[in-house]
Amino acid sequence: MLTRLRFLARVLLLFLVLLTAFAWLLHPVRVLPDLKSRQQIGMSLIKGASLPAPSEVYSVVLWTSHRRGEVGVFRIPVLTYTPRGNLVAMVEGRKNSEKDDVPKVIAVKRSTNAGETWSPSQWIVDDGNTTRRYCSNIGTIFVDNVTETIFLMYMYCGFCPVRSLMLINSTDDGITWGRPRNITDQVGKNYVAHPSPGYGIQKKHNPAKGRLIVCGHGFHDGLGLVLLLSDDHGVTWRRGAFVPSVPFRRSRRGDFDPDECQPIELPDGSLRIVVRNEHVYKCNCKMIMKSFDGGETLPKKHMFLDTHLIEPKITSGVWYSNGVLFYTGPNNTNNRTDLQLRWSYNNGRSWSKVMRIWEHKASYSTLTMLPNDEEHLYIMYERGWIVDDGNVARHNCSYLGSIFVDDTTATIFLMYVFCEFCPTRSLMLINSTDDGITWGRPRNITDHVGKDYATHPSPGYGIQKKHNPSKGRLIVCGHGFHDGKGLVLLLSDDHGVTWRRGAFVPSVPFQDNTDGNFNPDECQPVELPDGSLYLVVRNQHQYKCHCKIIMRSLDGGETLPREHMFLDRALVEPRITSGVWYHRGVLFYSGPNRPLAREDLYLRWSYNHGHTWTKGLQIWGHLAGYSVLTMVPDDEEHIYMIYERGTVKYFDEIAIVKLRLSMMTRNDTSSQGDVSPQKLVSPRTSDPGRS
C-alpha cells in the first residue's frame, strides 16, 4: 500500500480537453479552475506534491466547436500513446450539425513533447457531402507494441441497414495513415458493432498474451456489446464474448442494455470492462464485467453494478497503472456536468475521494499514459459552460438575468431570457442544488407567466422574502416585453417550481418611448424589515431627471401602488443597473456618480431606508458600468461588489471588491475601507447599445 501511495503522490495529470458545442483553448496553468455550450477539447497537467493525490500541472485546448464553416462541431475524444513515446489525439469533426448521423471528418493531432504543443489538425477520414446516415462514427484507437502500429477501428454507415466495420492504421508513429479497409466479413455482419470511443488493449499477460481486444456496442438488429479479437497483430479479426441486451430489440428505460465500453487488463491477466448503463438498469451507475479467458467469454456471475460510479449515461475514462485503477466521468446521475477523477487501490472494490477536473458541463473522457513515464496521466475530455448560444443568427441569443437563492431548499437559480429581440421570446430558468458546483438543464417557464409577461429578468439578484406578507416567496424583477416597455414582478410560492406575474408597471406610452417619457427599466428589489419591498429602478428615458425611480410594494409584490413611486434625485445615474443591498438597518447603493457618463463608481449608504444618503466611498475613479452587491450569510463584517470597469471602455474588466463594513460606515466620508479590487475576467464582447 505504501508503494501505491508514493506512486499516486507522484502522478501528474495532463488533461486533453475536447468540447463539443464549446470552445477549444490552449492555456498552461497551475491547477486550472478553468454540453448545451461551446465545446472544447483540451489538456491540463497536474503535479503531486507531498499528499498521496494527483494535482494539475497545465491544461491545453485542442479543438473548439466554433459552429462556423463546413466543420463546426468537434466531439468524441480519442487518445493514445504511440510506440515512440508520443501522443495522438482524434475527434469527430461534424459537418453542418452536431447530430451523430451527419457526415464527418476524423481529425488527428500529434504531440512530440508530452502534450505541451500539438501539430495542426489533419483529416484522415472524410465522408464528403453525403446524405445523413451515410457517415462515419469514430471508435477505438489502440497500439500493437510488437509491430509498432497504431490502429483506429471505426464504424461507417452505423445508422444504415447494412453497416461497415472499418480499420485504418499508421506504421510511422501516427505521422501518416493508410487507406481504411473493411473488416465486416471477418467478424460477420451480425457482430458488426460500433467500436466504443476510447482505446483498445494488447494483452501483456496470459492467457492470450499479445492479443488485441476492442470492445464494441450496438448491432444492426439489436443492442448489447461484443469483444472483437485479433491474434495476428490486427491482420484478421473475429468476435469473442457477446452480451446482448434484454430484450435484444426495442429496449427501454429500466432494461438491461450494456452500451459503450472500456476494457483494461489487470496484473493477473483478467479483463475488467467498465460499461455504460444505457437504459439505467437498476441504477444511474456503471456496469462492470470481467473476463478470465482473454475476452472469449464474459460470465454472468462476474457482472455487477458499481453504485459508486454514478453516470448520466456516458462513456468514461479508465486506466490501470502500477496498482492504481483510475476513472473519470461526470459526478452526476442526470446531467453531463462536474467531471471528476477517482482512483482505487484494490482494483475497483472501493474508490478514493475525488479530484474535480471541470466543474461545468463535461461529457466524454478518455485516459492514457506514456510507456516510459509513470509520473503523468493524460485526460482528454469534452467540456463547456452552463449556457452557450453558439454561433447562431443575430438576436437568437441569451441575456443574463437575475440570480437568486431559495434558502429553504438550498437551491441557486438563474432566470434569463432567450431570443429577447425575436417576435416570441423565452423566459428560461436554470438551477444548481449543490452550491453552484454543477447546473441542471435550462427549462422554459414562458407558459407559466404568459407570453405577454415574458420579460428580461434584470441583471442583479432576486430575493426570497424573510418576513410576512408572503414569507418564503421568491421574487424576480424584470423589464421590457415583446410588445412594449415597463417592469413586472415574477413570483413563485412553491420554491421555484411554478411562476406567475405579480405587479405590472407599464411605461407611458407603452410603446414608442422617447426621452422624457416614463419608462421604468432594469430593477433591483430589496426587502425591508417591515416586509415591504423597495425597488431601485433604472430611469431609462430620463423621466424628469437623471436619477433613479423608486417603487414600493406592501403586499409581497402583488402590486406597486402609484402613490409609493417617486424619484430619488440624490441617486444620479447615467441610465444603468445599480447595486442595492439592505443589512441591519443600512441600505447600500452602488452606481456611477455621474448623470451622463458611466464613470466614477461610488458606494453609498442610508440609515433611514433611503430618505437621505451619505456621500459614500469611491470604488473606481475611471470608467465604470453595471454593479451588483451581496453579502455572505455568516459574515456581517463585509459586503462584496462585482462591477464593470476600465480606462478605455467601461467594460474592459469585471472586478470584485470586498469592503469592511465597520471601517466604511464609521465615517460617512471615509475612504479607508478595505478596498482591494481583484480582476476576475475580461469580457470578450459587450453590446453597449443594449446596455
Cβ–Cβ under 8 Å, residues 624 and 609 = no
Q: Residue 646 is placed in which grid cell? A: 476600465
Element (H, E) at 570: strand 565-572
Considering only CA atoms, which of 316, 319, 179 is closest in space to residue 261?
316
CA 139, chain centre distance (Å): 24
User: What is the b/e burial string over 126-159, where b = at least 16 CB atoms within 10 angstroms of the residue's CB?
Assistant: ebeeeeeeebbbbbbbbbbeeeebbbbbbbbbbe
Catalytic option among 100, 293, 389, 674: 100
Using CA atoms, how far apart are residues 658 and 436, in angstroms rounded to an integer?
20
What is the amino acid identity at position 395?
H
Count CB neighbours of 370 within 10 A: 18
User: Is 447 a residue of the active site?
Assistant: no
Cβ–Cβ under 8 Å, residues 691 and 682 = no
Cβ–Cβ under 8 Å, residues 279 and 288 = no
Using CA atoms, how far apart are residues 385 and 416, in angstroms rounded to an integer?
15
State whether residue 581 is helix, strand or coil: strand
Question: If 0-12 CB within 10 Å is exposed, 13-18 middle and 19+ buried, where does residue 523 land?
Answer: buried
Catalytic option among 92, 144, 338, 382: 382
Strand spans (E) along 452-499: 456-457, 460-461, 463-464, 474-481, 484-492
Contacts of 578 (CB under 8 A, 6+ apart): 524, 536, 538, 548, 571, 589, 590, 591, 626, 627
Q: What is the DSSP string of 302-365?
A: G-EEEEEEE-SS---EEEEETTEEEEEEES-SSSSEEEEEEEESSTTSS----EEEEEEEEEEE
Task: Describe the chain by its helix, strand, coil percentages, rounded to 5.
Answer: 5, 50, 45
Strand pairing of 136-144 and 271-277?
unpaired
What is the amino acid identity at position 412?
I
User: Is 364 a residue of the active site?
Assistant: yes
Degrees, nearest 5: CA angle 677-680-684:
125
User: Is 558 a residue of the active site?
Assistant: no
Catalytic option among 364, 416, 543, 643: 364
Q: How far is CA 167 from CA 138, 142, 583, in A?
A: 11, 11, 67
What is the amino acid identity at position 611?
H
* 393 secondary structure, DSSP code: P
Q: Residue 522 is placed in which grid cell? A: 432594469
Count CB neighbours of 533 within 10 A: 25
Among all residues, which ones are annotated catalytic? 100, 364, 382
